[in-house]
């Protein structure tokens, strides 16, 4: 199809393209307005380990402690995303988790050998602080239990102050992207319709 035919199709169906694009813009703006209604929370967890019984090669004790903290940080990252921990955290915070959030509301990523970053979303700042405090408490309880069976290493988890930031939507940028995307999609639909009518 050459440019002349394409221009003819666009001109003939310009009203459809406008209406379709307007609907796409409205849907996109409503979606991002809904997404920006809450707060994002970031929480830093520090994982420390020390050898409870110094080894004969005492010069390697610090190295072994770092390696133990590195391995334990992996466990902490897995715990944070587990439904069991999430339910316990919400119960301890005095909140009720939504069904859609269980197993996915708290996301953890190990950033270094003894540093785990946790992120989650909440409706308000108060809930964010409650969940952060409850999470640190639950992980510390699990760590105390792990210490009983860890052999030669003793672990400690410390939580930093949670950083709570209000979600903000960029309505101008979102609108421009929706405008371009909606127009392209509308033209694509018209081209498909044109091909069907020829066949």
pLDDT of residue 12: 86
Which pLDDT score, from 0 to 100, does residue 152 have? Answer: 60
198 part of a folded domain: no
Mean predicted confidence (pLDDT) in 76-103: 78
Rg of the chain on CA atoms, in Å: 26
Do residue 19 and residue 94 come from a single domain? no
Q: The tokens 């994002």 sit on which residue?
A: 40
| Interval 171-193: pLDDT, tens | 788 889 989 999 999 888 888 88
Looking at the structure, do residues 72 and 153 belong to the same domain, yes or no?
A: yes
Does 3 or 29 have the greater pLDDT score?
29
What tens digit of pLDDT does each residue of 20-64 get? Answer: 999 999 998 888 777 666 888 999 999 888 755 555 544 444 666
100 three-state secondary structure: coil
Domain identity same for 153 and 98: yes
Residue 103 has a pLDDT of: 39
Instruction: Give a yes or no: residue 135 inside a domain.
Output: yes
Q: Is 50 helix (H, G, I), strand (E, B) or coil?
A: strand
Claim to verify: residue 177 and residue 147 sit in the same structural domain = no
In a domain, 195, yes or no: no
Query: Do residues 50 and 123 both lie within one domain?
Result: yes
The domain total for the chain is: 2
In the predicted structure, residue 1 carries a pLDDT above the cut 60: no
Give the sign of the dihedral formed by CA 129, CA 131, CA 134, CA 139. negative
- Mark whether 96 and 107 lie in a shared domain: yes
25 belongs to a structural domain: yes
pLDDT at 98: 58
For residue 194, is it within any domain? no
Range of the domain at 173: 3-35+169-185
Query: At CA 191, angle to CA 189 and CA 196, rounded to 5?
Result: 95
SS3 letters across 7-26: HHHHHHCHHHHHHHHHHHHH
Please report, rounded to a whole number, the percentage of residues in the chain having pLDDT higher than 90: 25
DSSP string, 144-183: HHHHHT-TTEEEEEEE-PPEEEE----HHHHHHHHHHHHH
44 versus 66: the higher-pLDDT residue is 44
| pLDDT attached to residue 196 | 66
68 and 114, same structural domain? yes
- Average predicted confidence (pLDDT) for the chain: 81
User: Which pLDDT score is estimated for 67?
Assistant: 78
Q: Determine, yes or no, domain membership for 199.
A: no
Q: Is residue 129 domain-shared with residue 61, that is, in the same domain?
A: yes
Q: What is the CATH number of the domain that holds 121?
A: 3.30.70.1130
Query: Within this chain, do residues 24 and 100 fall inside the same structural domain, yes or no?
Result: no
Verify that 147 and 49 share a domain, yes or no: yes
pLDDT digits (tens, 9 = 90+) for 119-143: 988 888 898 999 999 999 999 999 8
């Amino acid at each position: 199809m050459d440019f002349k035919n394409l221009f003819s199709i666009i001109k003939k169906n310009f009203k459809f393209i406008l209406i379709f694009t307007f609907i796409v813009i409205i849907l996109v703006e409503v979606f991002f307005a809904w997404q920006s209604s809450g707060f994002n929370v970031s929480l830093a967890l520090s994982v420390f380990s020390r050898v409870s019984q110094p080894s004969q090669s005492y010069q390697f004790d610090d190295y072994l402690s770092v390696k133990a903290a590195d391995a334990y940080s992996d466990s902490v990252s897995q715990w944070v995303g587990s439904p069991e921990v999430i339910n316990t955290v919400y119960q301890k915070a005095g909140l009720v988790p939504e069904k859609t959030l269980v197993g996915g509301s708290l996301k953890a990523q190990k950033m270094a050998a003894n540093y785990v970053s946790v992120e989650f979303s909440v409706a308000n700042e108060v809930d964010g602080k409650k969940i952060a405090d409850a999470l640190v408490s639950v992980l510390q309880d699990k760590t105390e239990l792990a210490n009983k069976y860890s052999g030669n290493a003793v672990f400690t988890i410390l939580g930093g102050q949670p950083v709570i930031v209000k979600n903000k939507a960029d309505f101008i940028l979102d609108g421009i992207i929706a405008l371009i995307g909606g127009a392209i999609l509308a033209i694509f639909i018209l081209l498909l319709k044109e091909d069907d009518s020829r066949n």
